[in-house]
Amino acid sequence: MTLRLDNISKSFGNIKAVHDLSFSCAPGTITGFIGPNGSGKSTTLRMIAGLTRPDTGSITIAGSPFHELLNPGEQIGFLLDPSAHHPGRSARETVILTAAMMGLPMHRVDTVLESVGLASAGRRKVRSLSLGMRQRLSLAIALLGDPKYLVLDEPANGLDVEGMSWLKASIRRFAADGGAVLISSHLLNELESYVDRVVIIDRGRVISNSSIGDLGGTEVTEVDGPHRSEIRRVLQAEGIAMADAPHSVNERISVMSSPEHVGEILWRNGIQVSLLHRKPVESLESYYSELTSPEFAAVSRTEEGK
């Protein structure tokens, strides 16, 4: 059974935060969830957690909506805000209270504190913990019910190099044991090293949902000629999305299409070309930058209005 989001939408007044968004996270996989600030990531994660109700669409966890789960923490764990814990309580007290609310045996408290490397810091007040240690505390609480799903929002914030290695190993181990992980992060190079799939959203919509292994097959073409502004104008008029920055008239033009298609358009319009070739996508970061560039967004909005 999967974590599924089917055509969910959410508006706040006149602002449409999420629009017709769908994707799923299967057992045994790690899914990266990325997008620009304000793209709807946090709203989506809050809807999964039952903290915000979608206007339309459905979210199911192993086939059931969040509010129908008998003990949600035994199905799905969340790390959304490491600053939410009471600063005057100790780390161990914080986990004990959560275990009591979930009706879990107290031995789980020591088990999860040990698993996140906080066994020796259990008596320390939350206010004295570093951001990285509070992240570990939040992950301990997420793991408390031994859930099948994890939803993590920027879990690497505050972690040092050793902490990052530990986090990646922990997430991989969780997935290898049959769990499903949805993780939001701005550290794209790190994310690329351990996720199986990546979902990219922008302006509340999914603009890409693919496996990491498929990124190299993305069609990006680099084109140049003596009249760059005319090349850009004609391609935009044909609905070809730009993959480079706006007004980059002194640089080669990158577009989201094949060289054959681009060449045919320019030949048909009688435009001279000095360079036309396929440009490989070498990383998640470059793919993300191309999809979320301002010109790509502008063309996408134009296409949506047609």
Pair (163, 206) in one structural domain: yes
**In one letter, which amino acid is 113?**
L
Min mean pLDDT across 9-18, 104-113, 287-296 is at 287-296
Boundary of a domain, candidates 193, 215, 237:
215
Pair (165, 236) in one structural domain: no
Average pLDDT, the chain: 87
Q: Is 262 exposed, middle or buried (0-12, 13-18, 19+ CB in 10 A)?
A: buried
- In what side-by-side order are the strands of the sheet with 149-153? 76-79, 149-153, 180-184, 30-34, 197-202, 205-211
218 has a pLDDT exceeding 80: no
294 has a pLDDT exceeding 60: no
Min mean pLDDT across 161-170, 197-206, 274-283, 290-299 is at 290-299
pLDDT band at 211 (very low <50, low <70, confident <90, very high): confident
Boundary of a domain, candidates 195, 215, 235:
215
Pair (26, 147) in one structural domain: yes
Q: In 3D, which of 38, 43, 36 has the Cα closest to residue 296? A: 36
67-77: average pLDDT:
94
Domain count, the chain: 2
Q: In 3D, which of 247, 245, 230, 84 has the Cα closest to residue 153? A: 84
Q: Which domain holds residue 253?
A: 218-304
Pair (237, 180) in one structural domain: no
213 has a pLDDT exceeding 80: no
pLDDT digits (tens, 9 = 90+) for 26-39: 999 999 999 998 89
Structure confidence at residue 7 (pLDDT) = 96
Q: In 3D, which of 34, 5, 36, 38 has the Cα closest to residue 22? A: 5
pLDDT band at 279 (very low <50, low <70, confident <90, very high): confident
Pair (57, 175) in one structural domain: yes
Pair (83, 138) in one structural domain: yes
Structure confidence at residue 282 (pLDDT) = 63
pLDDT digits (tens, 9 = 90+) for 106-163: 999 999 999 999 999 999 999 999 999 999 999 999 999 999 999 999 999 888 888 8
302 has a pLDDT exceeding 50: no
Q: What is the CATH number of the domain that holds 191?
A: 3.40.50.300
59-75: average pLDDT:
93
pLDDT band at 293 (very low <50, low <70, confident <90, very high): low
Pair (144, 9) in one structural domain: yes
What are the E-state strand segments in 125-249? Answer: 149-153, 180-184, 197-202, 205-211, 221-224
3-12/149-153 β-pairing: unpaired
Q: Report how far residue 14's alpha carbon sits from residue 12's, in angstroms, rounded to the nearest whole number.
A: 6
Boundary of a domain, candidates 215, 247, 276:
215
Structure confidence at residue 208 (pLDDT) = 86
265 has a pLDDT exceeding 50: yes
80-102: average pLDDT:
94
Helix/strand/coil for 221: strand
What spatial distance separates the first Cα and last Cα of the chain, rounded to whole Å? 37
Q: Report how far residue 205's alpha carbon sits from residue 223's, in angstroms, rounded to the nearest whole number.
A: 29
Pair (126, 70) in one structural domain: yes
Pair (74, 164) in one structural domain: yes
What are the E-state strand segments in 111-237? Answer: 149-153, 180-184, 197-202, 205-211, 221-224
Distance of CA 13 to the CA centre of its chain: 25
Q: Which is more confidently placed, 255 or 173?
A: 173
Distance of CA 23 to the CA centre of its chain: 11
Q: In 3D, which of 293, 212, 215, 214 has the Cα closest to residue 251? A: 293
pLDDT band at 280 (very low <50, low <70, confident <90, very high): low
pLDDT digits (tens, 9 = 90+) for 235-261: 988 888 776 655 444 467 888 778 889
pLDDT band at 305 (very low <50, low <70, confident <90, very high): very low
Structure confidence at residue 116 (pLDDT) = 94
Pair (182, 261) in one structural domain: no
Instruction: Report CA dihedral (31, 37, 43, 46) to the nearest 10 degrees.
Output: 60
Pair (25, 165) in one structural domain: yes
Structure confidence at residue 217 (pLDDT) = 57
Q: What is the CATH number of the domain that holds 226?
A: 3.30.70
* Of the ranges 48-57, 189-198, 290-299, the best mean pLDDT one: 48-57
Pair (79, 195) in one structural domain: yes
